[in-house]
Structure 1
């Protein structure tokens, strides 16, 4: 079986998590950054994993556009969804369900939050100011949830 992982990453956390998921999967895996590829042939994949990061409650538009464009094909495959965010755990389910099409969240074998990062040294000035003010974070902070990644991989294998 072939697996496709598509993702969009603003500062690198989602890309790190996508690579960790790829490492754990047993099949042939293609990893595609949606910012670099426009058209994707899904016909050669039996599984598709979609990941994105959440900023101010929203996933990147390029991830939403991918889900909308390929929704009918995605509904015919095994699907896993993940997000990366530095959020309170109690709103993660809401964000997972609100940032992907309803049909896709209902079809997905797993929907998971894989953690997040605040990488202040990579952030734009505006993003850095918002993070410092809202989250009270003043240094780089990493919270990638390896146990959740391992659980995600186990289900998708």
Structure 2
């Protein structure tokens, strides 16, 4: 099965999760960062995995545009959707609000992989805002390896 992982990452968490998925998927996958390319074409793939992260309640615009531009093609593919976010109690609501309903209903796998605050990768303004809002003073990672494994099982 030829698989494509499409993602967009602001501070690296979604990028890490995409790499973890690529490593455990049978047969691997082509990984496309929408921050680096706008020409991601899912047509030639059997399965497509789409992932993004939440910042101020919203997923990256590149992910929204990709989903809108390729909606009909995605509804013909084996589809997986994942989200990285630190707000565990709000995660499902954010997932539902940020991925279109037809894609959510069609997706064979849905995952909320947790998130991380990597202060080393944030600029001063982002670091200040995250520290103030979250109360965190050090980088922290809450990526769930178990959620990633379950996602891969569900996608099979």
- TM-score, structure 2 normalization: 0.96
What SS does the aligned partner of 1:10 have?
Answer: coil
Kept in 2: contact 1:96–1:111 (CA 8 A): no
Deviation at 1:28, TM superposition (A): 4.4
Task: Flag structure 2 segments of 5+ consecutive residues without an equivalent.
Answer: none
Deviation at 1:90, TM superposition (A): 2.5
| Distance in 2 (alpha carbons) for counterparts of 1:63 and 1:141 | 25
Deviation at 1:63, TM superposition (A): 0.5
- TM-score, structure 1 normalization: 0.95
Partner of 1:72: 72
Aligned pair count reads 156
Partner of 1:7: 7
**Aligned positions of 1:1-157 closer than 5 A:** 1-87=1-87, 89-157=88-156
* Cα RMSD, aligned residues only: 1.0
| Distance in 2 (alpha carbons) for counterparts of 1:41 and 1:148 | 27
Task: Flag structure 1 segments of 5+ consecutive residues without an equivalent.
Answer: none
| Distance in 2 (alpha carbons) for counterparts of 1:108 and 1:90 | 22
| Distance in 1 (alpha carbons) for counterparts of 2:17 and 2:63 | 16
Deviation at 1:43, TM superposition (A): 2.1
Deviation at 1:80, TM superposition (A): 0.5
Which structure shows the higher strand fraction? 1
Kept in 2: contact 1:24–1:153 (CA 8 A): yes
